[in-house]
């Protein structure tokens, strides 16, 4: 049987707007970035599947006419593309990622938790009430920048707020690179106001604390096709079973949406570039400091402190930047140390085993 593989390639965005019918794979978010990683022959032998859910006992993944469970094996997260090994699904390969969101695993364990892969846009959701917190939004933005995806701030519950303008102004001041959208998630506003980012073939995610409206937004984008949120039981860092959800939905419009559970503890790790991009003005100013390793605290000749004294920079913003830099350094160093120790321990065990064999 000869097959037409051109349909696996995404069409240009102008074509999208004229022709909403996508190929089955493009409707799952298959893009040129992934297509160029494999040959037509591989495509036939090991069909690409997108990971839609991560369970305790494996993954759920979807491809063209396939929706299957993959037992533990591929180190993949929601949004990943894997090449199905038909004989041994647990040996399926993970394709190179276009973007990856990760954080330091919550609790006392020293690990990294993969949150989502291959997103195009991260909607950082906050409501116009006490939940609104500039430091938390900056943290999510740094995470998105590090992950190589575009952040957009979405302010919800404007309908319940007397003066949303104050929140909108504060959100707009966070970064000139990050657009701000304010809306009522329970209306039809999300469909129109988020349309720019929710194009066919795109993958978007809602990130933010619990109760800010992530599920409401997901449902609003889905329109009439109701989405039932499936609870997934996962082990948290302390080994307790918690009910979470992290599902990728494919909307009739051709956009894929990831609804994540509220993330209270979002510890950055290996995220220095993302933090620097979030605070790029401070980062650039810091290059003018007298000392290369200036911490902008007490050092003489510090360009950042001078700017604060002159009233050009808000001292609390500087403090938030320093906090994130310190946290990222600490977590990255502890993880690196742990990796070295693990390696050394592994070597010791292997040496001992070899001695025993002799």
Annotated binding-site residue numbers for GTP? 156-159, 208-216
- Comparing CB distances to ligand GTP, the nearer of 251 and 289 is 251
Q: How far is the CB of 19 from ligand GTP (least distance, A)?
A: 32
What torsion, rounded to 10 degrees, do the Cα atoms 35, 38, 41, 43 define?
Answer: -50
Quote the tokens at residue 146. Answer: 């590090």
Under the binding rule (CB under 5 A), the answer on residue 70 touching Zn ion is no
Burial of 124 (0-12, 13-18, 19+ CB in 10 A): buried
- Comparing CB distances to Zn ion, the nearer of 95 and 318 is 318
- Comparing CB distances to ligand GTP, the nearer of 31 and 184 is 184
Q: How far is the CB of 332 from Zn ion (least distance, A)?
A: 21
Q: How far is the CB of 34 from ligand GTP (least distance, A)?
A: 29
Measured distance CA(177)–CA(21) in Å, rounded: 32
Under the binding rule (CB under 5 A), the answer on residue 171 touching Zn ion is no
Q: Provide the 10 A C-beta neighbour count for residue 100.
A: 18
Strands 150-156 and 232-235: what pairing?
A: unpaired
Q: How far is the CB of 323 from Zn ion (least distance, A)?
A: 16
Residue 157 interacts with which of ligand GTP, Zn ion, none, CB < 5 to 8 Å by class: ligand GTP
Residue 28 interacts with which of ligand GTP, Zn ion, none, CB < 5 to 8 Å by class: none
- Comparing CB distances to Zn ion, the nearer of 212 and 294 is 294
Q: What is the DSSP string of 267-324?
A: B--S-HHHHHHHTHHHHHHHTTSSSTT--SSS-TT-HHHHHHHTTSS-HHHHHHHHHH
Q: How far is the CB of 306 from ligand GTP (least distance, A)?
A: 42
Q: How far is the CB of 17 from Zn ion (least distance, A)?
A: 48
Give the annotated binding-site residues for Zn(2+). 289, 294, 296, 302
Return the residue nearest ligand GTP (CB atom): 213
**Token pair 């401070």 is at which residue?**
282
Residue 160 interacts with which of ligand GTP, Zn ion, none, CB < 5 to 8 Å by class: ligand GTP
* CA 257 vs CA 87, 110, 141, 251: distances in Å: 31, 29, 18, 7
Contacts of 225 (CB under 8 A, 6+ apart): 251, 252
Give the footprint of ligand GTP on this chain (CB under 6 A). 156-157, 159-160, 184-186, 210-216, 261-262
Per-residue binding string, Zn ion, 267-296, x by CB under 5 A, is ----------------------x----x-x
Measured distance CA(78)–CA(247) in Å, rounded: 7
Measured distance CA(91)–CA(97) in Å, rounded: 18
Binds Zn ion (CB under 5 A): choice among 304, 307, 318, 325:
304
Binds Zn ion (CB under 5 A): choice among 128, 181, 302, 324:
302
- Comparing CB distances to Zn ion, the nearer of 158 and 304 is 304
Under the binding rule (CB under 5 A), the answer on residue 97 touching Zn ion is no
Q: How many residues bind Zn ion (CB under 5 A)?
A: 5
- The answer to whether 244 touches 234, Cβ cutoff 8 Å, is yes
Q: How far is the CB of 167 from ligand GTP (least distance, A)?
A: 12
- The answer to whether 186 touches 156, Cβ cutoff 8 Å, is no
- Comparing CB distances to ligand GTP, the nearer of 115 and 282 is 115
Measured distance CA(53)–CA(74) in Å, rounded: 13
The angle formed by the CA atoms of residues 82, 88 and 93, to the nearest 5 degrees, is 25
Residues that bind Zn ion (CB under 5 A): 289, 294, 296, 302, 304
């Amino acid at each position: 049987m000869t097959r037409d593989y051109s349909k696996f390639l995404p069409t240009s965005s102008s074509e999208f707007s004229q022709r909403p019918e996508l190929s089955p794979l493009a409707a799952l978010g298959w893009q040129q970035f992934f297509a160029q990683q494999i040959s037509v022959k591989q495509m036939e032998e090991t069909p690409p599947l997108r990971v839609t859910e991560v369970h305790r006992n494996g993954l759920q993944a979807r491809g063209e006419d396939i929706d299957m469970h993959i037992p533990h094996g591929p180190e993949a997260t929601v949004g990943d593309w894997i090449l199905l090994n038909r004989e041994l699904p647990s040996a399926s390969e993970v394709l190179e990622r276009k973007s990856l969101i990760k954080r330091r695993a919550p609790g006392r364990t020293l690990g990294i938790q993969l949150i989502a892969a291959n997103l195009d846009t991260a909607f950082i959701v906050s409501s116009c009430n006490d939940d609104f917190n500039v430091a938390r939004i900056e943290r999510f933005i740094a995470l998105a920048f590090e992950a190589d995806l575009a952040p957009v701030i979405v302010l919800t519950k404007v309908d319940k707020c007397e003066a949303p303008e104050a929140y909108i102004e504060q959100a707009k001041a966070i970064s000139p690179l990050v657009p701000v959208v304010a809306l009522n998630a329970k209306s039809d506003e999300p469909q129109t106001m988020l349309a720019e980012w929710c194009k066919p073939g795109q993958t978007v995610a809602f990130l933010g604390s619990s109760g800010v409206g992530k599920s409401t937004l997901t449902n609003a984008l889905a329109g009439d096709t109701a989405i039932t949120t499936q609870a997934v039981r996962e082990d948290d860092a302390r080994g307790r079973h918690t009910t979470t959800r992290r599902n990728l939905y494919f909307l009739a419009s051709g956009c894929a949406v990831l609804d994540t559970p509220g993330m209270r503890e979002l510890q950055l790790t290996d995220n220095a570039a993302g933090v620097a991009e979030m605070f790029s003005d401070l980062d650039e100013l810091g290059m003018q400091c007298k000392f290369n390793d200036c911490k902008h605290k007490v050092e003489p000749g510090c360009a950042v402190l001078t700017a604060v004294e002159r009233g050009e920079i808000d001292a609390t913003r500087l403090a938030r930047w320093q906090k994130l830099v310190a946290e990222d350094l600490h977590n990255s160093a502890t993880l690196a140390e742990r990796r070295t120790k693990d390696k050394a321990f592994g070597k010791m065990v292997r040496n001992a085993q070899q001695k025993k064999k002799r």
